[in-house]
Amino acid sequence: MYRYDQYDQAMVDARVEEFRDQTRRRIAGKMTDDQFKPLRLKNGLYLQLHAYMLRVAIPYGTFNSRQMRKLAHIARTYDRGYGHFTTRQNIQYNWIKLEQAPDILAELATVEMHAIQTSGESIRNISADHYAGAAADEIMDPRPWAETIRQMTTFHPEFSYLPRKFKIAVIASGAGRAPARGPVGARRVVKSGGGEMGFEV
Amino acid sequence: MRILTGNDLKTGAVIWWTGQDWSIHIEDAADVGDQAQADAVLATEDAACRVNGGYAIDAEKDDDGNLRPAHIKDRIRALGPTVRPDLTLNPADPDAGNWVI
């Protein structure tokens, strides 16, 4: 799996501190809800029917034990002891407090995770076949392609203010395990009659 | 009657205007009268950052004197998640969800 380099870590850390300042200003009344709403949504924080909800990206559904333990720690410390994994391989915490949201993002950053582009009209978390790399019916591992798309689209200004959200899934099998049919921008790795790899989009 | 609701800015909790402060229990909600009075309270409370997305709704008291919002959305907000009775404000009442309907 991809590991952050110093530039990745610096960008994510800076984003956390930026959101901490924005949250502080909102709570202090120096920013209206209309001004703050697009900023919190850029960091995956929704206000839903009963409480705030934070959606955390898990790129192509792959994480290590350190990250899993951090997700559990966040659920126990900042939520009600659980989160919900989504069909698009994010995790959502449904009982988040606004004043604690920057601390949660800081905790996520320590294990190379974030909630950026999990909301709004952007290219969202790249999902993949959850059996990727271990499926007998796949013609290749789709995760390197998912990672390439993730790097191309994360923080890219052209993909952050789109007319509508784009949800990309990559799968290299004919099975329906990844949401590669419905979402806009879905990709299925296929092999031509001549043996060349390509994408069915 | 008209009552005020919104979400607590810091916690996101559903809250109801009591006439003096905000409460998470709809039974504490007070009649704010007409829309002009509602708007005045909401303007003050929004400026003080005590409520997020506040709005006025119609509600009525049932035969037992319990407040019941006119719209199902606000009845769900008043109770809590209908799919998890244990997470509602009446966790000991397995039939609490019937109040929403």
Q: How far does chain A reach from its first CA to its final CA, in angstroms?
A: 24
Residue of A nearest to B87 (CA): A80
Cβ-based interface (< 8 Å): residues of B facing A: 7, 9-14, 46-49, 52-53, 73, 76-77, 80-81, 87
Query: Across the interface, do B52 and A29 touch by the CB < 8 Å criterion?
Result: no
Q: Tokens at residue A178, please?
A: 């990844």
Q: Quote the pTM value.
A: 0.91
Residue A74 has which token pair? 């966040």
Kind and range of the H or E run holding B73 = helix B72-79
User: What is the percent of chain A with per-residue pLDDT over 90, rounded to a whole number?
Assistant: 73
Instruction: Give A95-112 pLDDT, tens digit per residue.
Output: 999 999 999 999 999 999
* One-character DSSP codes across B30-69: ----SHHHHHHHHHHHHHTTS-EEEEEEEEEE-TTS-EEE
ipTM: 0.89
pLDDT in tens, B12-53: 999 999 999 999 999 999 999 999 999 999 999 999 999 999
**pLDDT at A185 (0 to 100):** 57
Q: What is the mean pLDDT of residues B72-77?
A: 96
pLDDT attached to residue B30: 96
Res. B83 pLDDT band, cuts 50 70 90 = confident
Q: What is the DSSP letter of B100?
A: H
Closest partner residue to B12 (CB to CB) among A26, A29, A51 is A51
- pLDDT digits 0-9 by tens, A170-200: 988 888 787 666 555 566 777 778 888 888 8
Residue among A28, A33, A96 minimizing CB distance to B12? A96
Let me know: does A54 contact A75? Beta carbons within 8 Å: no
CA–CA distance, A55 with A119 (Å, rounded to integer)? 8
Question: Mean of the pLDDT values across residues A14-39?
Answer: 96
pLDDT, residue A91, reads 98
% chain B with pLDDT above 90: 73
Residue B92 Cα, gap to closest chain A Cα (Å): 18
Residues in chain B within 8 Å Cβ distance of A27: 9-10, 49
CA distances from B61 to A27, A93, B20, B38, B68 (A): 34, 35, 20, 19, 6
* Binding-site residues on chain A for chain B (CB distance < 8 A): 26-29, 33, 47, 49-52, 80, 95-99
Closest in A26, A29, A97 to B11, CB measured: A97
Q: What is the DSSP letter of B75?
A: H
